[in-house]
Chains A and B, each alone.
Chain A
């Protein structure tokens, strides 16, 4: 009952061009049927994400570990709430990040869980920068 060959093939890596995404904006692309949020973070959002005492977080992780160095402005996360799988809304909630409308989980501008029933941070999908304005997810 695991995924069949065609489903696996359809889950191959995809390339996303980042050049049209302005600062403060974000886009949602689908990979393996899951929404991936790509946020072009503002300076303020990056500073907020880095100013947090990491040890105080429910799922401790530094912002540096969640983005690629040299591309700190880009946050790439799977937009599926780690509680029960709803899609959080970007730019909502009290942490300048994501807010899940189902059970009220709130994530910060690094996609880390800050408040609510979700147990873990929004996962970062496997991805790499092919060039400065293009990433490959998968």
Chain B
């Protein structure tokens, strides 16, 4: 894309095409011969990583769309069926859902890199603005994609975000009706979001082509911010940049795979495993993590219209960056003050993200306001001011000079380090404070689960005992509607034989029909049937249980969680702790106390439970010692029942968990070898260029 190419393919067939459509020349000049500055560091591999992620999202997305049903009544179930029944559906879904987050990780790194090295400056303004447009399209796509599983967070996130447009004066309400295609978020909304979610990635791909085109016209910026002058300053794109990008992508895939195979729900919200319910708002509506800084800005402004303007303004302001920062020196490497403020700005963004996930009360609101001011001050005050008062250090004459002087002095970023430490300290102190404040509610105790960790497997005995507990106790009120009898004989489950599963199924009566006479009839269950629900519909369940419908248990261990708080949520990432749900379920089953402690009043018809949020639970104590007899001689105690039934319910929530962890290990072995190979190849290729 940098002018006409003199490349000529040697194959006559290719020559024939090349004379009519010079596409090979275009490819050659753009991705082979293209001169790339020789001093690029690894932050420059994120462009390739982003292209890889876009391709990944489109590929997995197209396949997922083949199995997904965009209908308000069926969407949630169709996503569950993808995960349970489609071949490697769990992998596709994890790749796509985690992929969205990884896409944003990469785009944020890419943007901060541009900010630090001044990649938006003349002559790259249009390149930068195209990037902001891609970012906006990504946000829209990500938001609409999050709506498609039609869980509680999907529904309420859609409600909150579409309502942002009602802040527009005069036409706001009609704009919102137009977005919904109805009088509230509903089936028409889901349908159009699906359509747009399929369309926008291709628009992104189109703008990416423009972005790359603009990049190849202006040439890449580089860590020293001096334009290449002679041939000594550049190296050809292939093999140098290609192999370096491959190594970058391989390393990034390690992080990606860590989430896909070991922490697939770490970045999601447990509430999204509860089907959408227009009548119940979840207690904390939290958007996906990549929107949190902007959500924090929205909430910290007490006026609705101003809040919405502030939120969108926080993104749009990036378009004006090339003119707000008028400093001649591009790279912050040679701008001692800009460098400090850049790191402060990074911390401000991270803290805003943290605040966006906190409830909007007390100290969080005030901190949010302060940081919102800091965010805008960086663009509107700091950058314009710095370009006038700052004395940059001398910039090297050329890139090759900079490469040769690489061993030069490194100034320690003292101020920013101090500020970052102080902020981290206050965050830590704040979390201790809030931990003290919430001492009243008990956190569920941790358990040792056979299925935790990278090599976790279900304990077969526990699964079989848990099924017995479910069948004899829980099943009288709770459904298990996503589990079919055939699942009991599948690999990674309770290890029954096909015949045993069929015999188990035949003990159930299943409603079928209509027959030739038009009547419904009952027949014995077959392996393909699903566990019948104890109540015909939710209203019946509600009426029979004092107003509180017993939830379906298929997904309960993924749909329940408790707040881990800082710094646990960081430690959990490394320790692969994913068992909040099982810990909570096991704790609630054992958390009943006959007498509520003093000062806690439990309404008529409710029971005191130590771990249930609010302590008043409608479910009477379900388990008591000796209630279920186990054939294998395990103790007939509540603790044993709770542990077994929770293990069983973890399996019902994720029947392919063992396959996920097993494949994860294989993928890791492969990726580490692949990344190593790429690294040594890269060293070899670059040996003559350093």
Contact = CB atoms under 8 A, between A and B. Distances in A.
Contact of B160 (A7, A11, A85): A85
Contacts of A87: 279-281
Given A7-B188, A86-B159, A86-B160, A119 B304 contact: yes
Contact of B361 (A3, A104, A118): A104
A33 B285 contact: no
B181 interface: yes
B304 A118 contact: yes
A35 B279 contact: yes
Interface string A25-39: 000101011110000
Given A3-B188, A101-B281, A103-B299, A84 B183 contact: no
B182 A3 contact: yes
Interface in B174-203: 177-186, 188, 192
Nearest to A34: B184
A100 B279 CA distance: 13
B303 interface: yes
A13 to B, nearest CB: 13
A28 B278 CA distance: 12
Contact of B181 (A3, A84, A86, A118): A3
A83 B304 contact: yes
Classify chain A: how many residues form its interface, as a range.
20 to 34
Nearest to A100: B281
A98 to B, nearest CB: 12
Interface string A15-51: 0000000000000101011110000000000000000
Interface residues of B, number: 34
A30 B181 contact: no
Contacts of A132: none
B302 interface: yes
B283 interface: yes
A4 B188 contact: yes
A86 B181 CA distance: 19
A56 interface: no
Interface string A86-127: 110000000000000111100000000000011100000000
A32 B183 contact: yes
B360 interface: yes
A7 B177 CA distance: 12
A86 B160 CA distance: 7
B280 A1 contact: no
A33 B360 contact: no
B183 A33 contact: yes
B648 interface: no
A2 interface: yes
A101 B283 contact: yes
A108 to B, nearest CB: 19
B164 A33 contact: no
A32 to B, nearest CB: 4
B310 interface: no
Interface in B186-227: 186, 188, 192
Nearest to B187: A7
B279 A4 contact: no
Contacts of A35: 278-279
A3 B179 CA distance: 9
A98 B655 CA distance: 42
Given A2-B177, A103-B360, A117-B299, A84 B164 contact: yes
Q: Give the interface centre of A28, A32, A85 by most chain B CB atoms within 10 Å.
A: A85
B281 A3 contact: no
Scoring A35, A83, A84 by chain B CB atoms within 10 A of each residue's CB, the highest score goes to A84
A1 B176 CA distance: 11
B604 to A, nearest CB: 15
B179 to A, nearest CB: 8
B279 A117 contact: no
Contacts of B164: 84
A11 B186 CA distance: 13
A2 B173 CA distance: 12
Contacts of A85: 159-160, 162-163, 166
B531 to A, nearest CB: 30
Contacts of A3: 177, 180-183, 188
A49 B458 CA distance: 59
A82 to B, nearest CB: 8
Nearest to B280: A87
The CB with the most chain B CB atoms within 10 A, among A34, A87, A103, is that of: A103
Nearest to B359: A104
B182 A33 contact: yes
B369 to A, nearest CB: 13
Interface string B284-310: 110000000000000100111101000
B116 interface: no
B258 interface: no
A33 B162 CA distance: 15
B197 to A, nearest CB: 15
Contacts of A84: 159-160, 163-164
Contacts of B278: 30, 33, 35
A34 B302 contact: no
A86 B303 contact: no
B192 A1 contact: yes
B144 to A, nearest CB: 14
A119 B173 CA distance: 14
Interface of A: 1-4, 7, 11, 28, 30, 32-35, 83-87, 101-104, 117-119
27 contacts: A2-B178, A2-B181, A3-B180, A3-B188, A4-B188, A7-B181, A7-B188, A30-B278, A30-B279, A32-B183, A33-B186, A34-B183, A34-B184, A84-B164, A85-B159, A85-B160, A85-B163, A87-B280, A101-B281, A101-B284, A102-B281, A102-B284, A103-B299, A117-B299, A117-B303, A119-B303, A119-B304
Interface of B: 156, 159-160, 162-164, 166, 177-186, 188, 192, 278-281, 283-285, 299, 302-305, 307, 360-361
Given A83-B304, A84-B160, 19 more contacts: A1-B181, A3-B177, A7-B182, A28-B279, A30-B279, A32-B182, A33-B186, A33-B278, A84-B164, A85-B160, A86-B156, A87-B280, A101-B281, A102-B160, A104-B360, A104-B361, A117-B302, A118-B304, A119-B303
